[in-house]
């Protein structure tokens, strides 16, 4: 397995699959068009965010989108994991864990002393994040008031 930044063709594939990644990451609550997914990602990529991809024999298996952010209260610079996705046929092979470890190490090398992420309650990835030392920091709650 190789983890690296994607080339242009791989970026196009990632962006075409982003709506699926968002749909699954939100547990089916958000179904976006490719255009809307690009609108969410492009500002991150223009700032300092970037993808790392996992490949084997040049076949895309998954990706992680990382970059910098700021703590809303202290304004402290933090590393942030914006998206993690592994294609169906490559799941349960440790790819997510390796992408996470590589991303955390990369953010550490860039000078961040803390890495955060957001995840929907009930997402199976929570177990992975906890195994890597992530802890609950905040909880976002909602109520439908139709």
| pLDDT at residue 3, as a whole number | 97
Q: Which residues pair with 80 in a beta bridge?
A: 67, 116
Length in residues, the chain = 146
The pTM score is 0.92
| pLDDT at residue 141, as a whole number | 87
Reduced to 3 states, what is the DSSP secondary structure of residue 96? Answer: helix
Structure tokens at 50: 């970037």
Rounded-to-integer distance, Cα 118 and Cα 126, Å: 10
C-alpha dihedral (69, 13, 38, 53), degrees to nearest 10: 0
| pLDDT at residue 139, as a whole number | 86
Sheet of 115-117, strands arranged across: 2-4, 50-56, 59-70, 77-86, 115-117
Angle at which helix 34-47 crosses helix 8-25, to 10 degrees, equals 110
In CATH, what is the architecture of 2-131?
3-Layer(aba) Sandwich (3.40)
| pLDDT at residue 140, as a whole number | 87
| pLDDT at residue 29, as a whole number | 87
Rounded-to-integer distance, Cα 79 and Cα 104, Å: 8
Rounded-to-integer distance, Cα 112 and Cα 119, Å: 20
| pLDDT at residue 130, as a whole number | 96
- Could you read off the pLDDT tens digit of each residue along the chain, which spans 146 residues? 899 999 999 999 999 999 999 989 998 888 989 899 999 999 999 999 999 999 999 999 999 999 999 999 999 999 999 999 999 999 999 999 999 999 999 999 999 999 999 999 999 999 999 999 999 998 888 899 98
Assign 3-class secondary structure to 29-86: CCCCCHHHHHHHHHHHHHHCCEEEEEEECCEEEEEEEEEEEECCCCCCEEEEEEEEEE
Domain ranges of the chain: 2-131
């Amino acid at each position: 397995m190789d983890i690296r930044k994607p080339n242009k063709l791989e970026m196009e594939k990632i962006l075409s699959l982003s709506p699926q990644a968002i749909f699954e990451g939100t547990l089916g609550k958000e179904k976006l068009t490719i255009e809307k997914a690009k609108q969410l990602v492009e500002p991150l990529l223009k700032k300092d965010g970037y993808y790392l991809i996992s490949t084997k024999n040049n076949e895309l298996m998954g990706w992680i989108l990382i970059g910098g952010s700021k703590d809303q209260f202290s304004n402290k610079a933090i590393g942030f994991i914006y998206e993690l996705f592994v294609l169906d046929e490559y799941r349960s092979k440790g790819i997510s864990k390796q992408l996470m470890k590589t991303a955390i190490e990369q953010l550490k090398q860039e000078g961040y002393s803390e890495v955060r992420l957001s995840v929907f309650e009930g997402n199976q990835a929570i177990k992975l994040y906890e195994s890597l030392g992530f802890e609950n920091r905040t909880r976002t709650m909602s109520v439908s008031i139709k």
